[in-house]
């Protein structure tokens, strides 16, 4: 993929309401994330191939302010379960059903703790850690961002 295509893709993402775009063409792959959407460590659009080819290009996204969550995570100890995608958080499998977990629930790493709906697909999110739910940091039906803290497990 040539640099003109990459520049065009960056412009399209900047002008649209989408927050992330990933395209694979041949052996090259481009991932563009709008500034302020992803964690600061991954706010990079890159063009690369599996081998370290001389044509490898990295384009840094515009600098952005770091968003501080409303719930102070510094007070909490334990493991943080983060959202693996942008979508809508649901605490139960269906309206009127009991939530997957509540504060005080014991979970194993493979237990489903919530659902995130993204593009009309319901994605079950696993705890990832064994322990007890100490805090639930989001409300049912709330939109969540990639990397946003959802739960604290001790």
Q: Consecutive 10-residue runs of the chain (154 residues): their mean pLDDT?
A: 76 80 78 64 43 46 41 63 93 92 93 92 92 94 93 93
The per-residue pLDDT for 17 is 80
The per-residue pLDDT for 16 is 79
The per-residue pLDDT for 139 is 93
Q: Give the C-alpha separation, 96 to 113, whole Å.
A: 16
Let me know: does 107 contact 132? Beta carbons within 8 Å. Answer: yes
> In the structure encoding, which two tokens stand for residue 32, read together?
């563009």
The per-residue pLDDT for 25 is 78
Q: In what order do the strands lie in the sheet with 149-153?
A: 79-82, 149-153, 131-136, 106-107
Please tell me the pTM assigned to this model.
0.52
Domains located in the chain, CATH noted? 3-60 (no CATH), 79-153 (2.40.50.100)
The per-residue pLDDT for 42 is 41
> In the structure encoding, which two tokens stand for residue 127, read together?
């705890």
The per-residue pLDDT for 36 is 63
């Amino acid at each position: 993929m040539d640099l003109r295509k990459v520049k065009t893709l960056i412009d399209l993402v900047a002008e649209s309401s989408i927050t992330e775009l990933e395209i694979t063409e041949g052996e090259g792959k481009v991932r563009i994330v709008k500034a302020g959407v992803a964690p600061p460590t991954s706010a990079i659009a890159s063009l690369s191939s599996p081998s370290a080819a001389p044509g490898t290009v990295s384009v840094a996204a515009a600098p952005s302010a770091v968003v501080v969550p409303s719930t102070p995570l510094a007070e909490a100890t334990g493991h943080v379960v983060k959202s693996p995608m942008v979508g809508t958080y649901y605490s139960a499998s269906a309206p009127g059903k009991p939530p997957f977990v509540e504060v005080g629930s014991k979970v194993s790493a493979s237990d489903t703790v919530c659902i995130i709906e993204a593009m009309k697909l319901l994605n079950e999110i696993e705890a990832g850690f064994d322990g007890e739910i100490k805090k639930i940091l989001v409300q049912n039906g709330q939109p969540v961002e990639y990397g946003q803290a959802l739960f604290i497990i001790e």
